[in-house]
Amino acid sequence: MQGRYQVHHSAFEYSNRYRGCQTRAVTDDSKSIHCLSLEDLRREYQLGELTEHNCETNPIVQFERWLKQAQVIELKEPNAMVLATSTPAGRPSARVVLLKEVSENGFVFYTNYESRKGQELADNPHAALTFYWAELERQVRIEGTVCRTSQEKSEAYFRIRPKTSRLGALASHQSAILASRSIIETRMAQLEEQYAGTDDIPKPAYWGGYCVSPDILEFWQGRQNRLHDRIRYTRIDRQGWHIERLAP
């Protein structure tokens, strides 16, 4: 392993480079701080362009076009999206969930209503979504209001999930603290035995769908020299969108 020693004023620095990353242990008389530098990790984007002339007038149609292109090249879970929520006080949290439907009404996903995200959405029904397709050098950002889907819609989707996924929804009280993994594994084993002879598994009342109704969608296409293309759609009424270019 190659190392480099540098002296910067009162600090004594040791650093290692590995695949573009730099690890440093910086020490002085009072403290030692470990730092992983990623300064050398970079690439140029040059796969495509996005203009006001080649984008759709409807952002939902534009999103569907990009999602289908991600599916064509067989990206792993192209429907994965970061869901950001916030408490009323403005403390944010984010996690990756899976998009299960997109339409003019919005973007639908399913989860436990009693989870942290469910609690935050109950208190503050606004959310942001981000899709990132690195292989296409694209991302989509979405902001909007959130409401629960109907019980009928949640029931219909729950019934087509794999049996083990339905049992998992019953076994897990999402975001609750567990003393050990064995607790949930034991609960899952009990449910598998209980429902061994049937496929009729009830949807728990605390599980269902959410729909993010978008007010803003931004499509980002990576370009050379960090001069990326950014096209933003802002809803002006229930039927129309204002389209504009943003500086990268």
State the pTM of this model: 0.85
Q: 4 falls in which pLDDT band (50, 70, 90)? A: very low
Q: What domains lie within the chain, and their CATH numbers?
A: 4-37 (no CATH), 59-245 (2.30.110.10)
Residue 132 has pLDDT above 80, yes or no: yes
182-223, pLDDT tens digit by residue?
A: 999 999 999 999 999 999 999 999 999 999 999 999 999 999
Catalytic residues: 226
149-173, pLDDT tens digit by residue?
A: 999 999 999 999 999 999 999 999 9
97-131, pLDDT tens digit by residue?
A: 999 999 999 999 999 999 999 999 999 999 999 99
Bigger pLDDT: 46 or 239?
Answer: 46
Q: 5 falls in which pLDDT band (50, 70, 90)? A: very low
Give the integer Cα–Cα distance in Å for 144 and 129: 9
